[in-house]
Amino acid sequence: MSQSSAGSIESVLQEGRKFAPRAEFTARANISSEAEYEKMWNRAKDDPAGFWGELAENLTWFKKYDSVLSGNMPDTKWFNGGKINASVQCLDRHLTSWRKNKAAIIWEGEPGDTRVLRYQDLYREVCQFANVLKSLGVKTGDRVTLYMPMIPELAIAMLACARIGATHSIIFGGFSADAIADRNNDAKAKVVVTADGGWRRGKVVSLKAAVDESMERSPSVEKVVVVRRTGSDVTMTPDRDFWWHDLMQDADTDCDPVELDSEHPLFILYTSGSTGKPKGVLHTTAGYMLGTMMTSKWVFDLKDDDTYWCTADIGWVTGHSYIVYGPLANGATTMMYEGAPNWPDEGRFWNLVEKYKVNIFYTAPTAIRAFIKWGDQWPGKYDLSSLRLLGSVGEPINPEAWMWYHRVIGQERCPIVDTWWQTETGAIMISPLPGITAAKPGSCTKPLPGVVPDIVRKDGTSVGANEGGLLVMKQPWPSMLRTLYGDHERFVSTYFGDIEGCYFAGDGARKDSDGYYWVMGRVDDVLNVAGHRLSTMEIESALVSHPNVAEAAVVGFPHDLKGEGICCFVSLKSGDGNDELIKELTAHVRKQIGAVATPDVIRFATALPKTRSGKIMRRLLRDVAAGRVSTQDTTTLEDLTVLEKLRQDED
Ligand code: WT7
């Protein structure tokens, strides 16, 4: 993707195929006619308060709100005056129906151990852990860090926080001790919940050890709760560290839910921005619950007899919204798997689909590309006939990967929902509705009801059909982020500072003549590596913190499996680089940020291309990293020989 100075973006992708859902699917779908969608979409656009107000009756309120929507973006409030609790939506209200004994969570660990928690069981454990948190001094409004493997205790801890109005901040297990400390400090977390470890490709990921290291720099943290998962050796610091099972043993199995304001902070989730430290995206209670509940129902077409599996890690927003809150608010059965897709072999996911008769399967393009590479023989070994709907999220899906997913996994029977959304949006925004939308491979298709996007130039004017531009939202939606934790100004300038009156998502996109959206990727210095947003700036800071490094520039390059790979250009303070130093720098970045940010390529350069004002010209380095001859404008480049030298270094 190339961006001109006017902010319009050239789009090169051409895709003409179209796939309509089969009549049998449409007949049973939660939204089953185009006319119904049009009516909902127009109603939501013209009368958002009326539209969302009616849907909010599907939530359980302690006290009804005074107004559905108040204020303008960025400072919009939803359901002001209402009193609500997220855990009640996910648990209590199902206990008075037949769902009491329905499976809420079906879990399988990587070693093959399994657990099924019925709604009643989940309720009991959530109440117990809520009481545990209270006994550790956690109060309504406090923050709790969760750094855990994909085990039921993670969902239990989330809902327990929600029950007492503590705000959870989940840190993905691939982050390092330093990243944990940064997030603990930013959020001023009082308690950390972790495990002795988690299983990944037959090995233990030592979560507790990372927490221990982070504690040296986490002064706000008073207590640590540790789930025994792997049985590996851990050091327990007296009076600070407690075993989950010890605390749970004595905990009461009832805990009244706290009656919270609609806008009470439900969770913080840190995500990458182009500059500065990670952004603590803050979501609140009522709007987020309504957004995730309704979109789960519309997009995943959830029915009571479905087994639904989202393969994301709960450490990312996908897991928050579409493993835990959205599905459970619908009383659905949600599956959770702890480990790697290729353990003990490359057939594991399909083995799980067959074993649990999964009906709805939601994964990421990076995973699909790995499946393709591993070969059709793996899914071919298993019975996938239970599947009725497939989903994709995290980055644009390449049309060829879409076709493979459709043919090999969906067996040309299942609609595919390519869902565009972000940590910030909380819930799916642009996506096919599986019963009605004719999908085009590579397009996330059309906005859901309540979502009013546009594609604009930098001056805010709308672009024409098939013209690339910036993807914005013109109307607020209930599950949108409310602020960046502790930095409201940054929230306003990051999302509302570019295009007057609009939320700017940071993505480039185009709309075709059928009104279908084609997202072309991010326009800022944020990489999308295996569906995870990583900031080039943070990786650069990590590199520069190494004593030998003078300067670093990090860019993405096309990567077969990960979508984007991480390429680092490093200039040293003195001497030449060598393989030893590459290893050392790689380890250094992993320690500073975590395994998620492991560089794919490190290249040493005597100088980096810069503008006359000293800004590193990353767009030129992107060409070098991709091995392309640059056709870009180099008139602002300070020293033209630098690029030539970088290219020669390749040989
Ligand atoms: C960015 C958000 C939403 C959960 C996972 C990532 C890209 C996401 C799609 C899609 C094209 C997509 C965008 C977006 N993205 N889904 N279906 N088609 N691009 O959450 O880390 O907040 O990243 O992921 O660039 O801005 P996130």
Give the residue, by CA position, lying nearest to ligand 1 atom 11: 396
Give the residue, by CA position, lying nearest to ligand 1 atom 23: 422
Question: How much is the pLDDT for 74?
Answer: 96
Encode 285-304 in three state secondary structure. CHHHHHHHHHHHHHHCCCCC
How far apart CA 466 and CA 488 sit, in angstroms, is 35
Please tell me the distance between residue 530's alpha carbon and the centre of ligand 1 in angstroms.
11
Q: Measure Cα distances from 605 to 47, 349, 621, 647 in Å.
A: 57, 42, 11, 10
Q: Are 262 and 82 in contact (CB under 8 A)?
A: yes
Q: Are 173 and 315 in contact (CB under 8 A)?
A: yes
Shortest-distance atom of ligand 1 to CA 317: 4
pLDDT band of 276, cuts 50, 70, 90: low
Average pLDDT of span 33-38: 97
Give the residue, by CA position, lying nearest to ligand 1 atom 3: 422
Shortest-distance atom of ligand 1 to CA 519: 11
Sign of the CA dihedral with 50 first, then 54, 55, and 60 last:
positive
* Residue 14 φ then ψ, to 5°: -120, 125
| Res 206 pLDDT > 90 | yes
Q: What is the mean pLDDT of the chain?
A: 93
Residue 638: count of CB within 10 angstroms of its CB: 14
Please tell me the distance between residue 582's alpha carbon and the centre of ligand 1 in angstroms.
30
Of all residues in the chain, the percent with pLDDT exceeding 90 is 80
CA-based nearest residue to 188, from 163, 169, 207: 169
CB-based burial of residue 95 (10 Å sphere; 0-12 exposed, 13-18 middle, 19+ buried)?
middle
Report the DSSP pairing between strands 114-118 and 360-363: unpaired
| Res 4 pLDDT > 50 | no
Shortest-distance atom of ligand 1 to CA 421: 3
Question: How much is the pLDDT for 400?
Answer: 86
590-617 tens-digit pLDDT:
998 899 899 999 999 888 887 766 677 8
CB-based burial of residue 496 (10 Å sphere; 0-12 exposed, 13-18 middle, 19+ buried)?
middle
How far apart CA 607 and CA 636 sit, in angstroms, is 16
Q: Measure Cα distances from 362 to 90, 186, 409, 431, 542 in Å.
A: 20, 32, 12, 13, 33
Phi-psi region of 357 (alpha: psi -120 to 50; beta: other; left: phi over 0): left
Domain at 526-650, CATH class: alpha beta
Please tell me the distance between residue 507's alpha carbon and the centre of ligand 1 in angstroms.
9
Average pLDDT of span 508-521: 92
Report the DSSP pairing between strands 103-108 and 333-337: parallel
Please tell me the distance between residue 125's alpha carbon and the centre of ligand 1 in angstroms.
33
| Res 103 pLDDT > 50 | yes
pTM assigned to the model: 0.91
CATH annotation of 90-258? 3.40.50.12780
Please tell me the distance between residue 519's alpha carbon and the centre of ligand 1 in angstroms.
9
Tokens (6 digits) for 10: 């050239």
Please tell me the distance between residue 613's alpha carbon and the centre of ligand 1 in angstroms.
33
Shortest-distance atom of ligand 1 to CA 533: 21
Please tell me the distance between residue 318's alpha carbon and the centre of ligand 1 in angstroms.
10
Q: Are 100 and 120 in contact (CB under 8 A)?
A: yes
Beta bridge partners of 94: none
Mark 245-256 as b/e (b = at least 16 C-beta within 10 Å).
Answer: eebbeebeeebe
Q: Is the peptide bond before 74 cis (omega within 30 degrees of 0)?
A: yes
Please tell me the distance between residue 402's alpha carbon and the centre of ligand 1 in angstroms.
16
CA-based nearest residue to 409, from 387, 431, 426: 387
Give the residue, by CA position, lying nearest to ligand 1 atom 8: 394
249-258, 420-429, 598-607, range with the lowest pLDDT: 598-607
Please tell me the distance between residue 369's alpha carbon and the centre of ligand 1 in angstroms.
16
With tokens 């009076």, the residue in question is 239
With H, G, I as helix, E, B as strand and everything else as coil, classify residue 156: helix
Q: Would you give the DSSP letter of residue 492?
A: H
| Res 525 pLDDT > 80 | no
Please tell me the distance between residue 396's alpha carbon and the centre of ligand 1 in angstroms.
8
Please tell me the distance between residue 504's alpha carbon and the centre of ligand 1 in angstroms.
13
Give the residue, by CA position, lying nearest to ligand 1 atom 12: 395
Shortest-distance atom of ligand 1 to CA 531: 6
pLDDT band of 3, cuts 50, 70, 90: very low
- Domain ranges, ordered by start, for the chain: 23-85+264-518, 90-258, 526-650
Higher pLDDT, 80 or 635: 80
How far apart CA 441 and CA 418 sit, in angstroms, is 9
pLDDT band of 636, cuts 50, 70, 90: low
Please tell me the distance between residue 544's alpha carbon and the centre of ligand 1 in angstroms.
28
Of all residues in the chain, the percent with pLDDT exceeding 70 is 94
Question: How much is the pLDDT for 644?
Answer: 77
Same fold, 90-258 and 526-650: no
pLDDT band of 15, cuts 50, 70, 90: low
CATH annotation of 23-85+264-518? 3.40.50.12780
Shortest-distance atom of ligand 1 to CA 430: 17
- Residues in the ligand 1 pocket, defined by CB under 6 Å: 271, 316-318, 393-396, 418-423, 444, 505-507, 519, 521-522, 528, 531-533
With tokens 């977390």, the residue in question is 189
Q: What angle do CA 526, 532, 536 make, to 5 degrees?
A: 30
Q: Measure Cα distances from 150 to 127, 173, 336 in Å.
A: 20, 9, 7
Average pLDDT of span 238-244: 98
Mutate to test the pocket of ligand 1, among 519, 522, 525, 538 (most ligand atoms within 8 A of CB): 519
Most confident of 107-111, 522-526, 562-566: 107-111
Give the residue, by CA position, lying nearest to ligand 1 atom 21: 533
Give the residue, by CA position, lying nearest to ligand 1 atom 15: 395
Please tell me the distance between residue 420's alpha carbon and the centre of ligand 1 in angstroms.
6
Give the residue, by CA position, lying nearest to ligand 1 atom 13: 395
Average pLDDT of span 355-370: 95
Please tell me the distance between residue 579's alpha carbon and the centre of ligand 1 in angstroms.
34
Average pLDDT of span 399-418: 96
Question: How much is the pLDDT for 17?
Answer: 86
Mutate to test the pocket of ligand 1, among 268, 446, 533 (most ligand atoms within 8 A of CB): 533
Give the residue, by CA position, lying nearest to ligand 1 atom 5: 394
Shortest-distance atom of ligand 1 to CA 397: 18
Q: Are 197 and 235 in contact (CB under 8 A)?
A: no
Give the residue, by CA position, lying nearest to ligand 1 atom 7: 395
* Residue 363 φ then ψ, to 5°: -140, -170
Mutate to test the pocket of ligand 1, among 269, 279, 288, 421 (most ligand atoms within 8 A of CB): 421
Please tell me the distance between residue 645's alpha carbon and the centre of ligand 1 in angstroms.
35
